[in-house]
């Protein structure tokens, strides 16, 4: 605890010296971060393999490559984003100039989960650095190999009073949350999100909460079945289904259900072979607690495909399951694993009602060639973000702010949105020392008529 206090204090001193506001300093730190990631690619990839059985390909695509891409984009635009932004000034404030200045919040706390332990730790950090903040990072205790690599790397590339990685579980998080950080960026479950927000409220600390939930995938009657199948299967079973924006469940139009299920079975075999346990491209469940939680989900419904498990290897086959109800536990909780429940529908309005009866999802995917139905979905369901005719890919566009809504989160980041999230917008009106109209100063007697004219209000007395 004393160490944490000391660390936060040292970062507060670092912020006070004003170094981080300098644009060149921020650009340099982003380059150092990119260098740190690239130079340690092999260590990162092998740690991800250890923690999650992630293939090198997936690790480059969703972690290392993702981060370098975002750093390059932010570096390219940081100068223009950082400039004071001029806005219009109403005539009644004549001779004034209005600008919005960006300033760093100060010392930020970043709490991250285990499923994409590099991306979900470093992507918020890019925003924090770009905006000129210091950061204390606490990666997840459930991905220990990656957390260790992150701590080791950061020690080599950044001074602790600027950016520090600290490792630990709930006790450490609880102690961190007692500190007076200037901003808290949390990625994890809605349950822990509430704990974080409650703790933050004690010191009125602003928060971003990147949470989870059940993200629906809806397939209309008029789609390209083969492409839809490939895009759903790849989005769902990436990282063995442990992706916050993975399709949680599938709702497919009755007329195409059988075709889609057959296509998905073929794709699953093509992607991961007849025995996915032997596939170098298929991941593992993070730990036994999650494995047991997921195994219990298999007790209800009918398994159409998969369902094979091996606890010693933390292996769960990609699984398609049907004949479920909203009351089954698999439909009451976020799945966060390689099980895809399948429902059929006839009326899209019913689908909309069923989704709207539940907490607002982090992501939603809609497959259709019907423009009207697409508009219907977009206009009638609130969700964090998503894709039309694909899954997961919206996350890969750094020009799209990423975040949830309602139960799936507060705030967003990625690219410019990340810079903005970690910047306070300081609005300043600047006036020259010229004359003032006496109208604004007391005594007010005899001035009301003119004041009402200025505001374009009727004058009755």
Within positions 211 to 240, which residues make up the interface with ligand NAD, using CB under 6 A? 211-212
Give the nearest distance from C-beta 408 to ligand NAD in angstroms. Answer: 7
Q: How far is CA 188 from CA 103, 131, 163, in A?
A: 27, 23, 21
Does the protein bind ligand NAD through residue 169 (CB under 6 A)? yes
The stretch among 12-20, 108-116, 298-306, 446-454 that binds ligand NAD (CB under 6 A) is 108-116
The stretch among 207-215, 385-393, 437-445, 450-458 that binds ligand NAD (CB under 6 A) is 207-215
Does the protein bind ligand NAD through residue 114 (CB under 6 A)? yes
Is residue 387 helix, strand or coil? strand
Distance CA 240, CA 235 (A): 10
Q: Which of 13, 38, 87, 170 binds ligand NAD (CB under 6 A)?
A: 170
The stretch among 47-55, 107-115, 256-264, 365-373 that binds ligand NAD (CB under 6 A) is 107-115
Contact predicate 343/323, CB 8 Å: no
Contact predicate 62/117, CB 8 Å: no
Beta strand 319-322 with 385-388: parallel, antiparallel or unpaired?
A: unpaired
Our answer to whether residue 420 is catalytic in this structure is no
Distance CA 218, CA 389 (A): 9
Give the nearest distance from C-beta 422 to ligand NAD in angstroms. Answer: 16
Our answer to whether residue 344 is catalytic in this structure is no
Q: Which of 78, 136, 200, 244 binds ligand NAD (CB under 6 A)?
A: 244
The stretch among 46-54, 70-78, 167-175, 368-376 that binds ligand NAD (CB under 6 A) is 167-175
Within positions 388 to 417, which residues make up the interface with ligand NAD, using CB under 6 A? 404, 409
Give the nearest distance from C-beta 447 to ligand NAD in angstroms. Answer: 54
Does the protein bind ligand NAD through residue 334 (CB under 6 A)? yes
Does the protein bind ligand NAD through residue 189 (CB under 6 A)? yes
Contact predicate 200/177, CB 8 Å: yes
Give the nearest distance from C-beta 357 to ligand NAD in angstroms. Answer: 20
Angle at 271 between CA 270 and CA 276, to 5 degrees: 100
- Whether the ω angle into residue 443 lies within 30 degrees of 0, i.e. cis, is yes
Q: Which of 108, 244, 387, 420 is catalytic?
A: 244
Burial class, 342, CB count within 10 angstroms (exposed 0-12 / middle 13-18 / buried 19+): buried
Tell me how crowded residue 403 is: count the other CB atoms within 10 A of its CB.
Answer: 20
Q: How many whole angstroms from its chain centre is CA 197? A: 16
Contact predicate 190/213, CB 8 Å: yes
Q: Is the CA virtual torsion 202, 426, 211, 55 positive or negative?
A: negative
Tell me how crowded residue 173 is: count the other CB atoms within 10 A of its CB.
Answer: 21
Does the protein bind ligand NAD through residue 106 (CB under 6 A)? no
Distance CA 256, CA 221 (A): 6
CB-nearer residue toward ligand NAD: 113 or 132: 113
Nearest Cα to Cα of residue 385 among 411, 359, 365: 365
Give the nearest distance from C-beta 51 to ligand NAD in angstroms. Answer: 12
Q: Which of 58, 70, 179, 210 is catalytic?
A: 210
Does the protein bind ligand NAD through residue 111 (CB under 6 A)? yes
Does the protein bind ligand NAD through residue 140 (CB under 6 A)? yes
Q: How far is CA 151 from CA 26, 39, 44, 121, in A?
A: 21, 15, 11, 11
Q: Which of 59, 187, 391, 423 binds ligand NAD (CB under 6 A)?
A: 187
Give the nearest distance from C-beta 254 to ligand NAD in angstroms. Answer: 30
Does the protein bind ligand NAD through residue 188 (CB under 6 A)? yes
Catalytic residue ranges: 210, 244
Q: Which residues bind ligand NAD (CB under 6 A)?
A: 111-115, 120, 138, 140-141, 169-170, 173-174, 187-189, 192, 195, 210-212, 244, 334, 336, 362, 404, 409
């Amino acid at each position: 605890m004393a160490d944490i206090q000391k660390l936060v204090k040292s970062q507060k001193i670092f912020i006070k010296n004003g170094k981080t506001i300098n644009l060149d300093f921020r650009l340099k730190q982003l380059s150092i971060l990119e260098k740190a990631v690239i130079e340690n690619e092999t260590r990162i990839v092998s740690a991800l393999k250890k923690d999650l059985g992630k293939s090198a390909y997936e690790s480059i695509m969703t972690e290392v490559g993702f981060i370098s891409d975002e750093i390059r984009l932010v570096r390219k635009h940081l100068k223009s984003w950082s400039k004071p932004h001029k806005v219009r000034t109403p005539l009644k404030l004549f001779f004034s100039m209005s600008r919005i200045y960006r300033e760093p919040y100060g010392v930020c706390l970043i709490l991250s989960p285990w499923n994409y332990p590099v991306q979900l730790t470093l992507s918020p950090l890019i925003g924090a650095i770009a905006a000129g903040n210091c950061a204390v990072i606490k990666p997840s205790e459930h991905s220990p190999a990656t957390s260790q690599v992150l701590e080791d790397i950061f020690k080599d590339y950044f001074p602790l009073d600027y950016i520090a990685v600290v490792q630990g579980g709930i006790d450490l998080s609880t102690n961190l949350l007692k500190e007076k950080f200037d901003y808290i960026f949390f990625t994890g479950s809605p349950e822990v999100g509430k704990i974080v927000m409650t703790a933050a409220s004690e010191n009125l600390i602003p928060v971003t909460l990147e949470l989870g939930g059940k993200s629906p995938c809806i397939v209309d009657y008029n789609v390209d079945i083969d492409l839809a199948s490939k895009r759903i299967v790849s989005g769902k079973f990436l990282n063995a289904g442990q992706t916050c924006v993975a399709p949680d469940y599938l709702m497919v139009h009755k007329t195409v259900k059988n075709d889609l299920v057959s296509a998905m079975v073929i794709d699953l075999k093509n992607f991961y072979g007849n025995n996915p346990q032997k596939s170098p491209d298929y991941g593992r469940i993070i730990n036994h607690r999650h494995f047991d939680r997921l195994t219990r989900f298999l007790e209800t419904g009918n398994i159409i495909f998969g369902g094979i498990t091996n606890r010693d290897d933390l292996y769960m086959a990609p699984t398609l399951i049907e004949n479920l109800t909203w009351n089954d536990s698999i439909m009451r909780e976020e799945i966060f694993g390689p099980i895809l429940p399948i429902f059929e529908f006839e009326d899209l309005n019913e689908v909309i009602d069923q989704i709207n009866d539940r907490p607002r999802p982090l992501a939603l995917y809609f497959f259709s060639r019907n423009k009207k139905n697409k508009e219907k979905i977009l206009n009638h369901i609130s969700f964090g973000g998503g894709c039309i005719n694909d899954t997961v890919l919206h996350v890969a566009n750094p020009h799209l702010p990423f975040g949830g809504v309602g139960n799936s989160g507060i705030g967003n980041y990625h690219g410019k949105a990340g810079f903005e999230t970690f910047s306070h917008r300081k609005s300043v009106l600047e006036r020259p020392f010229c004359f003032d109209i006496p109208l604004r100063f007391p005594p007010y007697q005899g001035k009301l008529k003119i004041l009402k004219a200025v505001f374009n209000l009727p004058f009755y007395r």
